[in-house]
Structure 1
Amino acid sequence: MDNVKIEAKELLYPSNLLTISRLLLLPVTLFYLGCPERRREALACLALTMFTDAIDGPIARSRGEVSRLGELLDPIADKLVLDSTAIILSRTRGFPWPITGLLLFRDIGILLAALVVLGRRAKITTAQSSGKATTVALTAATLGYVADGPRIGRPLLWLAMIPFGISFVQYGVRFIRLMRGQNHPSGSNSA
């Protein structure tokens, strides 16, 4: 498990501080999302939260600070933000519950599979390009639902289902290959 070692200095990397700030902004964001009269605040918090996601990876790479901590925290933060946002929006803004269920199913599966891979192979699995595209597309859809409910959000959500479906299949195939010990062409350890 040596290659999964996290160093204390990684907590101070700007990219990891952004990821941690995303987690710290989540309760405030969820509070505003749950208050229909606070739509502007919810939109601002969610946009800020997701902006930190858009810039943390490029900052880490440009500074040569891609870290194990970032590889662990970033996908967990993404999933917590998007999944909890989907739950709140399903309760308050017409976000479809079946999509929320699929999102939760996929993300719990990805996290459990990553834990299995980490335990058996001492390797941190990183996001696929389709997973990153799904995050971007779902972010646009959730922002659309916050801004104007299903009128703007639903078309964006249906578009988001394209990379979502692709990522669902790709993560499953990747998990099977990693468990069989096969190398995957995009299975490098970079954030």
Structure 2
Amino acid sequence: MTGVPASAAGGTGKPAPGGKLGAAAVNQASLWNIANILTMIRLVLVPGFVALLLADGGYDPVWRAWAWAAFAVAMITDVFDGHLARTYNLVTDFGKIADPIADKAIMGAALVCLSSLGDLPWWVTGVILGRELGITLLRFWVIRYGVIPASRGGKMKTLAQGTAVGMYVLALTGPLATFRFWVMAVAVALTVITGLDYVKQAVVLRRQGMAAAERAARDEREAAAER
């Protein structure tokens, strides 16, 4: 009941011709919220960032500065889109899928480009990307038993990676170039430590979930036997 007389809707009591279009508009509006728009911006920034970083052979300080600006914007939007989605209940299926893809795309693109330019050892890129791929597979492995919440270590890892990669994107020399090496060392250490911690939590969660499922099945069998 809407409280609107049938005559006001044409007197037939049937849905207005634009009913389906109205529903589609609502669904579209729910997709085009500020959190999702920020995620889309981050996705669009990936090819632009790569083009800027590799422009003029990849060693022009000016182009590298522009690439850093694009990378910084991507990292900032990563902070705000998730916060806005949770705070204002803007979580959508698109955001759940696109947000982690955008995160990995910008970081992966930066690491691969820096290694291809010879600025960053390939093993560093391999460790970071391997960890991210492994964690993604672990999520699918335990998803039926629950979700592992983000830890403080994971947030520190993300901050360290973003800072270190951003410093490598810039054409730094002298003491700053030495400093970024140590920042990257911290980022790699946190990547490995938090990755191992995630594996431990995933194993525990899966064992607990399997044990709970076995108890539930046993209780169900016992209840059926008593009938």
TM exceeding 0.5: yes
How far has the Cα of 1:70 moved from its partner? Answer: 2.9
Aligned to 1:156: 183
Aligned to 2:99: 74
In the alignment, the residues of structure 2 paired with residue 182 and residue 148 of structure 1 have an alpha-carbon distance, to the nearest angstrom, of: 49
In the alignment, the residues of structure 2 paired with residue 141 and residue 173 of structure 1 have an alpha-carbon distance, to the nearest angstrom, of: 26
Question: Percent of counterpart pairs with the same letter?
Answer: 31
Q: Is 2:34 aligned against 1:14?
A: yes
Q: Is 2:78 aligned against 1:53?
A: yes
Change beyond 3 A, Cα 1:82–1:91: same
Q: More relative contact order in 1 or in 2 (CA 8 Å, sep 6+)?
A: 1
Change beyond 3 A, Cα 1:93–1:56: farther
How far has the Cα of 1:122 moved from its partner? Answer: 7.7
Give a deviation string over 1:1-56, Cα, whole Å, max 9, x none.
xxxxxx76552221122112111110111111223221121111111111111211
The normalised TM-score by structure 1 is 0.79
Change beyond 3 A, Cα 1:50–1:182: same
Residue ranges of structure 2 left out of the alignment (5+ in a row): 1-26, 211-227
Give a deviation string over 1:57-88, Cα, whole Å, max 9, x none.
22223213244443333222212211221111
Structure 1 letter corresponding to 2:35: S
Change beyond 3 A, Cα 1:62–1:124: same
- May I ask how many residue pairs the two structures share in their alignment? 175
Structure 1 letter corresponding to 2:130: F
Aligned to 1:27: 47
Structure number with bigger Rg? 2
| CA RMSD, Structure 1 to Structure 2 (Å) | 2.5
Structure 2 letter corresponding to 1:164: T
Q: Pick which of 122-131 and 166-175 moved more.
A: 122-131
Structure 1 letter corresponding to 2:137: L
Give a deviation string over 1:111-130, Cα, whole Å, max 9, x none.
12223334xx1856554332
1:1-191 to structure 2, matched below 5 A, reads 10-35=30-55, 36=58, 37=60, 38-92=63-117, 94-118=119-143, 121=144, 127-149=150-172, 150-182=177-209
Q: Pick which of 66-75 and 43-52 moved more.
A: 66-75
Q: Which runs of 4+ in 1 moved over 6 A?
A: none
In the alignment, the residues of structure 2 paired with residue 76 and residue 144 of structure 1 have an alpha-carbon distance, to the nearest angstrom, of: 23
Residue ranges of structure 1 left out of the alignment (5+ in a row): 1-6, 184-191
CA contact (8 A) 1:75 1:127 kept: no
Look up the SS of the partner of 2:170 in the other structure: helix
The normalised TM-score by structure 2 is 0.67
Structure 1 letter corresponding to 2:153: S
In the alignment, the residues of structure 2 paired with residue 122 and residue 32 of structure 1 have an alpha-carbon distance, to the nearest angstrom, of: 43
